[in-house]
Structure 1
Amino acid sequence: MTLTELRYIVAVARERHFGRAAEACFVSQPTLSVAIKKLEEELDVKIFERGANEVTMTPLGEDIVRQAQSVIEQASAIKDIAKRGKDPLDGPLRLGIIYTIGPYLLPELVKHCIELYPRMPLMLQENFTTKLLDMLRTGELDCAIMAEPFPDAGLALAPLYDEPFVVAVPASHALAKRERISAEELKAETMLLLGNGHCFRDHVLEVCPEFARFSTDAEGIRKSFEGSSLETIKHMVASGMGVTVVPALSVPAQVPDHLRYIPFEAPAPTRRVVLAWRRTFTRYEAVAALRNAVYACKLDRVTLLS
């Protein structure tokens, strides 16, 4: 067996689809399928059950894929050790980041990384928390910036900052002139939410749990609407369709005339943003450098954590 074959079965296990796995591995589907069939014949076991619409792992296949992930990670660690012996800040750092942080942190973070660590370019991947956790486990990412809480994946964590939430309302709204708003007052409003998969959606529903019921039945469209991104939802708010809750870093320096951002009454709801990486990742100096680059950013609306 080869590392390439092991990467193929890990990709199929993650995507549950041969075509998407082939795209992720940058090979043709026949190439990937033949390699996996060869591996199954060599091991004399069936790793995958091929269904009409989805591929599933056999019970034995689950154990094989788990071990394959570990082998791939260990093989990658050998390269990392070699790099570390030369210069841990020399070479790309594969960074994942969730959608509700990326647009507001990355522009300045990338700029500081280029200035401070010119030989350590960031290879960026924006995605949902669950996807980033999978990519960390399989070694496709070195580290990720995410918001707690998320499932314990045995990762090392370094807290970065606590970020308060604020309420976005149309400038013409009755609440627009308020200095502070309570979560209780939002119960009477039409709430605009991010779609399923966004962890920030869950954070908002923790603040306003009464809106959870509207996101799961047809009647809910009268009371809550879903958007694909925070910026899309902000435009919906500006057009008078409702109100929303956003993280403080997403508030622009110059607020458009048609929007108002209002803080919550104390204690304001917040989220904790952390940097996560595999405990076996050997370039710890690169992780520390990335954290320093985050601290070099101008983050006035958050509380930095040492």
Structure 2
Amino acid sequence: MITLKQLTYALAVDKTKHFKKAAEMCSVSQSALSTAISELESQLGIQIFERDTKRVLTTKVGEDLLEKARDIKIRMDDLYQLSKRQTSPLNHPLSIGVIPTIGPYLLPKVLPEVRKQYPDLELTILEEQSHVLVEMVKNGDIDAGILALPYPLDGLHAFEFWQEDFFMVAHNTDSHAQQVEITSDEIRETRLLLLKDGHCLKEHAMAACKLQATEGGSYSMSGASLYTLIHMVAGRMGTTLVPQMALDQLIIEGSELKAVHLDEPGPHRTIAFITRLNYAGVKDIELLMNIFREQLKKYCTEH
């Protein structure tokens, strides 16, 4: 009889392409994992993996089987989680992914209150770019993700909980630094520094400013993080755009940097939880969203 454990082991091998690493991921011995997969192949009468001393390859029929196995495991995990959540909310392990342009600025504002209200919550946070989080949620590697919309979600469900605008950050010697508002046309007059390709913040910032990638090189310089860009601005190398929730951490009081609100129709980006369509922990996500929303409102009131 095929077991969920066998399928879990096979999925781990498919992910790592390595029996030893898969065994470590599943917290079992390599021999136990290898035996379980051999039994699975024997029961099904197919070869799932081609292996030799140097590499592991998933066969074509193995890929088809593991696609179905992945769906089975996700549904079983959701079933177990559903039973746990009937006792009390947020008292069980929960894994959430967050993108780098949200995590460092959102989590310090909201997690202390989450811990205060739900001290028994076992929360695991990981940071990845949007396309990685979408795949991890879809494959059941994490329970939920937090990212900025708009973004293609590939059939996942989005629970929006916050909207915000962008601010241009400039050195106080910049001709636009003393303004209260700045338009897209005025931003075109500056050397706008943006994150490298692959960060959705770059796309959202360009969309908010009505900028096209073919317009020229005024914003072609890219950094690896918002902190990098802020240091470049402090060095008078240009200006950048940052979301409102990041201002208090990126601009220190008394610094030579100034934040000017982008005077273009907003909100400029929307923050949302993403989950699978049939995810069993929707009520837990709703509880977290309410806390996040209230703490962000508090932050905006105080700043």
Q: Which runs of 5 or more residues in structure 2 are unaligned?
A: none
Decide whether the 8 Å contact of 1:48 with 1:61 is kept in 2.
yes
Query: 1: distance between equivalents of 2:283 and 2:149?
Result: 23
SS at match of 2:248: coil
Match of 1:225 among 218, 221, 226: 221
Matched residue count:
296
Shift of 1:131: 1.2
Decide whether the 8 Å contact of 2:96 with 2:126 is kept in 1.
yes
Shift of 1:44: 4.6
Shift of 1:98: 1.1
Match of 1:77 in 2: 78
Query: 1: distance between equivalents of 2:182 and 2:20?
Result: 45
Query: 1: distance between equivalents of 2:24 and 2:200?
Result: 24
Match of 1:252 in 2: 248
Match of 1:276 in 2: 274
Match of 1:196 in 2: 197
Shift of 1:267: 1.9
Query: 2: distance between equivalents of 1:118 and 1:257?
Result: 37
Query: 1: distance between equivalents of 2:57 and 2:203?
Result: 28
**Mapped pair 1:296 → 2:294:** yes
SS at match of 2:213: helix
- Identity, in percent, stands at 29
Q: TM-score if structure 1 supplies the norm length? A: 0.81
RMSD of the alignment, in Å? Answer: 3.6
Larger Rg: 2
Match of 2:138 in 1: 137
Shift of 1:243: 1.1
- Relative to structure 2, which stretch is displaced further, 227-236 or 5-14? 5-14
Match of 1:25 in 2: 25
Query: 1: distance between equivalents of 2:23 and 2:170?
Result: 42
Which residue identity is paired with 1:83?
K
Which residue identity is paired with 1:7?
T
Query: 2: distance between equivalents of 1:61 and 1:245?
Result: 46
Shift of 1:150: 2.3
Query: 2: distance between equivalents of 1:250 and 1:80?
Result: 34
Residues 9 and 203 of structure 1: is their aligned pair in 2 closer, same or farther, counting only changes over 3 Å? Answer: farther
Match of 1:63 in 2: 64
Pairs within 5 Å for 1:41-120: 43-45=44-46, 47=48, 59-120=60-121
Shift of 1:235: 1.0
Q: Which runs of 5 or more residues in structure 1 are unaligned?
A: none
SS at match of 2:65: helix
Residues 42 and 201 of structure 1: is their aligned pair in 2 closer, same or farther, counting only changes over 3 Å? Answer: farther
